[in-house]
């Protein structure tokens, strides 16, 4: 259910799934950056020490080579033993910067112009410079930076790959785990959803998490209070209506008795009016008792009954007490429709619908009652049209449309309470289906079974 003006509710599964996946990904990226940073430092130290080592190893060889030459000032390029891609290149220069010896692939333009000692870097290379023979000879070894960069990129990529797998795994894993952990809460939700509006018994779901347990206890507590309040209201109505029966019957008997003793005249007329009023009072107490029953529990019985044979009994009985010749009852040729609706409740429902059809229907027009083999009861009578907005309110207590005849406006409220109490569905149509006028009430009993 959406409460207007508030944001639409979010699924806990989705929020946790997204939140945890984002968190884990972020932590992974942080760990990755840390690893890359530390590895880069360590790699640089390693590469640097190898570079310095190489320079110090080559230097004595170069010194011997240069000193043993006929003309030591003659620049010489060391020939390679076989063609290979040199990673480390070096240059040996004298104190003026003149090149005395260079490795076969060395490009002098790459090197520092000034003769530097120790480590230095250019855009593309890392250098290590050292001097020997009283600073008359200077060696500089260069190593391209691409090697170090490649190594770092490889480490970063290797560490990044698992994240691609981690994201869906983390999301699906959280989703499934949250669903598993919430299974009792979901059971609680469907227990609430599946119960009828009149069911106020405590909701029982086992193994609820502590966070929800208190809520469920409070809800049950509230339901209990509501049930007791409604029950006391209903029993008060039923009891008072019941208590009224005897005095009303006594008053009615006495006024009828008195009428016989009085001759026709104004006093007799007044007595007739009193009798009519007492009859209305009797009707009211009868309807109030029916309403109290309809709105109370106990609308379903433990046994199943065949509604088709029950309906024909009730209609027969009704015709005997109020002789009307025009009731047309249509029942399926064979078969039965079993339902666990309480016998009395079903009889009250049918009597109210028939009572209405006789009271409000056009006189001398047939009343059609049918019960389909699928379990749909329909009562149709001729009547003038009722505007849609009035029609929609007829189920409410004390709402009437036809005020020409006596009534209280409780019949349809009683019928509606019974129908919704047993979980069936009632529709009211004016005009009746397939007609231009008339009034139709149909009750679908199939829903009770599902
Ligand atoms: N079969 C029907 N044909 C035409 N109008 C109907 C029919 N049934 C109900 N109505 C209309 O719906 C109104 C409400 O019906 P409801 O049974 O609740 O009250 P009532 O019949 O007027 O009084 P009560 O049943 O309490 O004696 C009626 O006043 C009438 O206008
Ligand atoms: Mg009625």
3-state secondary structure 275-335: HHHHHHHHHHHHHHHHHHHHHCCCCEEEEEEEHHHHHHHHHHHHHHHCCCCCEEEECCCCC
Beta strands 338-341 and 327-330: pairing type?
unpaired
Assigned token pair, 272? 């007739």
Q: According to CATH, what is the number of the domain 298-449?
A: 3.30.565.10
Can you tell me the distance from the alpha carbon of 289 to that of 297, in angstroms, rounded to the nearest whole number?
A: 14
Residues with CB under 5 A from ligand 2 (ion): 356, 411
Fold classification of 13-163 (topology level): Beta-Lactamase (3.30.450)
**pLDDT digits 0-9 by tens, 11-37:** 888 888 899 999 999 999 999 999 999
Closest CA to 137 of 57, 62, 55, 54: 62
378 lines ligand 1 (CB under 6 A): no
Closest CA to 259 of 275, 282, 243: 275
Under DSSP, is residue 429 helix (H, G, I), strand (E, B) or coil?
A: strand
**pLDDT digits 0-9 by tens, 197-246:** 667 888 888 888 888 889 999 999 999 998 898 888 878 878 888 888 89
Can you tell me the distance from the alpha carbon of 90 to that of 111, in angstroms, rounded to the nearest whole number?
A: 9
Which one of 407, 408, 418 would you pick to mutate in the ligand 1 pocket, going by the greatest count of ligand atoms within 8 A of its CB? Answer: 407
Q: Which residue has the tokens 């994240």?
A: 163
Q: Which residue has the tokens 């909701």?
A: 203
6 CA → ligand 2 middle, Å: 43
- Closest listed ligand to the CA of 357: 1
User: Residue 195 gets which letter from DSSP?
Assistant: S
435 CA → ligand 1 middle, Å: 19
407 lines ligand 1 (CB under 6 A): yes
pLDDT at res. 446: 86
Assigned token pair, 159? 């560490």
**Are 282 and 248 a contacting pair, CB within 8 Å?**
yes
Which one of 411, 429, 443 would you pick to mutate in the ligand 1 pocket, going by the greatest count of ligand atoms within 8 A of its CB? Answer: 411
Can you tell me the distance from the alpha carbon of 307 to that of 290, in angstroms, rounded to the nearest whole number?
A: 20
- Closest listed ligand to the CA of 409: 1
Assigned token pair, 293? 């029953």
For ligand 1, atom 19, which residue shows the shortest CA distance?
409
Residue 385's Cα: distance from chain center in Å? 42
Of ligand 1's listed atoms, the one at least distance from the Cα of 395 is 18
401 lines ligand 1 (CB under 6 A): yes
Domain boundaries along the sequence of the chain: 13-163, 196-297, 298-449
Can you tell me the distance from the alpha carbon of 90 to that of 426, in angstroms, rounded to the nearest whole number?
A: 99
365 CA → ligand 2 middle, Å: 18
Fold classification of 196-297 (topology level): Helix Hairpins (1.10.287)
Element (H, E) at 233: helix 210-261
Backbone φ and ψ of 147, nearest 5°: -60, -50
Per-residue pLDDT of the chain (450 residues; tens, 9 = 90+): 444 456 778 888 888 889 999 999 999 999 999 999 999 999 999 999 999 999 999 888 888 888 887 776 666 666 555 656 667 899 999 888 888 888 887 888 889 888 888 999 998 899 999 998 888 889 999 999 998 899 999 999 999 998 888 889 988 998 999 899 889 988 998 888 887 666 788 888 888 888 888 999 999 999 999 889 888 887 887 888 888 889 999 999 999 999 999 888 899 999 999 999 999 999 988 898 899 888 877 788 888 899 999 999 999 988 887 766 688 999 998 888 999 899 999 999 999 999 999 999 988 889 999 999 989 999 999 999 999 999 999 999 999 987 788 888 999 999 999 999 888 999 999 999 888 889 999 999 987 654
Can you tell me the distance from the alpha carbon of 391 to that of 383, in angstroms, rounded to the nearest whole number?
A: 13
**Are 196 and 423 a contacting pair, CB within 8 Å?**
yes
């Amino acid at each position: 259910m959406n409460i207007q003006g508030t944001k639409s509710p979010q699924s806990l599964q989705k929020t946790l799934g997204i939140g945890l996946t984002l968190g884990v990904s972020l932590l992974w990226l942080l760990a990755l950056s840390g690893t890359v940073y530390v590895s880069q430092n360590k790699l640089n130290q390693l590469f640097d020490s190898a570079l310095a080592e190489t320079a110090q190893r080559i230097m004595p060889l170069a010194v011997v080579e240069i000193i043993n030459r006929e003309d030591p000032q003659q620049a010489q390029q060391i020939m390679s033993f076989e063609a290979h891609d040199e990673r480390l290149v070096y240059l040996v220069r004298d104190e003026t910067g003149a090149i005395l010896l260079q490795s076969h692939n060395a490009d002098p333009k790459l090197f520092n112009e000034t003769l530097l000692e120790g480590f230095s870097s250019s855009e593309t290379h890392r250098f290590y410079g050292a001097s020997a023979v009283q600073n008359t000879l200077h060696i500089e070894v260069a190593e391209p930076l691409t090697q170090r960069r490649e190594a770092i990129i490889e480490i970063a990529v290797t560490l990044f790959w698992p994240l691609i797998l981690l994201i869906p795994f983390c999301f699906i894993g959280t989703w499934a785990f949250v669903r598993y952990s919430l299974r009792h809460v979901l059971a609680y939700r469907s227990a609430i959803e599946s119960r009828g509006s009149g069911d106020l018994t405590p909701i029982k779901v086992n193994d609820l998490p502590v966070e929800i347990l208190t809520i469920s206890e409070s809800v049950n507590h509230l339901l209990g209070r509501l049930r007791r309040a409604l029950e006391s209201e209903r029993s008060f109505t039923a009891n008072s209506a019941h208590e009224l029966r005897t005095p009303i019957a006594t008053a009615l008997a006495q006024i009828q008795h008195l009428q016989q003793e009085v001759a026709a005249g104004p006093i007799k007329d007044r007595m007739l009016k009193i009798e009519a009023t007492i009859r209305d009072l009797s009707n009211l107490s009868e309807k109030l008792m029916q309403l109290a029953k309809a709105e109370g529990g106990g609308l379903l019985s433990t046994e199943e009954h065949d509604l088709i044979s029950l309906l024909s009994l009730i209609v027969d009985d009704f015709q005997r007490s109020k002789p009307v010749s025009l009731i047309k009852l249509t029942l399926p040729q064979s078969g039965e429709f079993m339902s666990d609706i309480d016998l009395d409740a079903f009889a009250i429902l049918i009597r109210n619908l028939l009572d209405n059809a006789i009271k409000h229907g056009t006189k001398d027009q047939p009343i059609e009652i049918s019960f389909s083999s699928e379990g749909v009861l329909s009562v149709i009578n001729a009547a003038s049209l009722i505007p849609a907005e009035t029609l929609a309110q007829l189920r409410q207590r004390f709402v009437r449309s036809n005020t020409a005849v006596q009534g209280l406006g409780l019949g349809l409220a009683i019928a509606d309470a019974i129908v919704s109490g047993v979980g069936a569905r009632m529709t009211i149509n004016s005009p009746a289906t397939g007609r231009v006028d008339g009034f139709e009430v149909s009750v679908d009993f199939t829903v009770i079974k599902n």
